[in-house]
């Protein structure tokens, strides 16, 4: 793999940073491994309870708790300990039924139905290229080279100073 910033060839694909310029290479390796796509991980969801399930549970709990309340109300005139348990039980199950009824109304009005989520975020994919071209692929003939034979040799500073001192 080559660094996209400075074109330095990396020793291995597991390097986290470029050895020449320090560019972070973790994202580059991730893109190359997934053909230019950034993998999308869905955020952790709480218990994904659907609307129908909440409505079904609430209806069942409301009807069963109120049925227990009506059975307990028939024992109110028995007297003694049974009457006390019947009155306490009917109050508890009435409150439980009321809470489940409110849960039913909440689910019916505010909980949304099935929502589909995409599993992967897609970005425009550039043309497929695994890495930058190697230096051997770039021909040297494209670069202009100066003709060194046309250069005139210059006299060095020390020779010129020596000549001035001799005079």
The pLDDT of residue 88: 92
* Residue ranges making up the domain that contains 13: 1-41
pLDDT digits (tens, 9 = 90+) for 38-70: 776 655 454 455 788 888 999 999 999 989 999
Residues 58 and 106 in one domain: yes
Tell which of 110, 137, 155 closes a domain: 110
Rounded to whole angstroms, the Cα distance separating 106 from 51 reads 10
pLDDT category of residue 164 using cuts at 50, 70 and 90 = confident
Q: How many domains does the chain have?
A: 2
Residues 28 and 65 in one domain: no
Most confident of the ranges 49-58, 100-109, 134-143: 100-109
Rounded to whole angstroms, the Cα distance separating 101 from 63 reads 9
Q: What is the pTM of this model?
A: 0.40
Most confident of the ranges 35-39, 66-70, 74-78, 137-141: 66-70
Asked whether the predicted pLDDT for residue 4 surpasses 50, the reply is yes
Span 8-13, average pLDDT: 78
Within a domain: residue 59? Answer: yes
Quote the mean pLDDT of the chain.
75
Which has more pLDDT, 53 or 112?
53
> Do residues 12 and 3 touch, judged by C-beta distance below 8 A?
no
Residues 2 and 23 in one domain: yes
CA distances from 19 to 5, 8, 16, 30, 133 (A): 12, 8, 9, 18, 18
> Do residues 62 and 102 touch, judged by C-beta distance below 8 A?
no
């Amino acid at each position: 793999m080559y660094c996209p910033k400075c074109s330095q060839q990396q020793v291995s694909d597991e390097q986290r940073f470029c050895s020449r310029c320090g560019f972070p290479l973790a994202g580059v390796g991730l893109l190359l491994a997934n053909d230019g796509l950034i993998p999308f991980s869905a955020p952790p969801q709480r218990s994904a309870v659907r609307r129908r399930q909440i409505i079904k549970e609430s209806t069942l709990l409301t009807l069963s708790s109120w049925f227990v309340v009506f059975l307990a109300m028939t024992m109110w005139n028995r007297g003694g300990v049974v009457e006390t348990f019947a009155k306490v039980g009917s109050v508890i199950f009435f409150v439980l039924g009321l809470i489940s009824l409110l849960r039913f109304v909440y689910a019916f009005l505010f909980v949304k139905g099935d929502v589909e989520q995409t599993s992967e975020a897609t970005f425009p994919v550039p043309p497929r290229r695994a890495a930058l071209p190697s230096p051997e692929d770039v021909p040297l003939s494209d670069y202009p080279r100066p003709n060194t034979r046309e250069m005139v040799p210059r006299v060095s500073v020390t020779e010129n100073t020596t000549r001035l001192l001799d005079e």
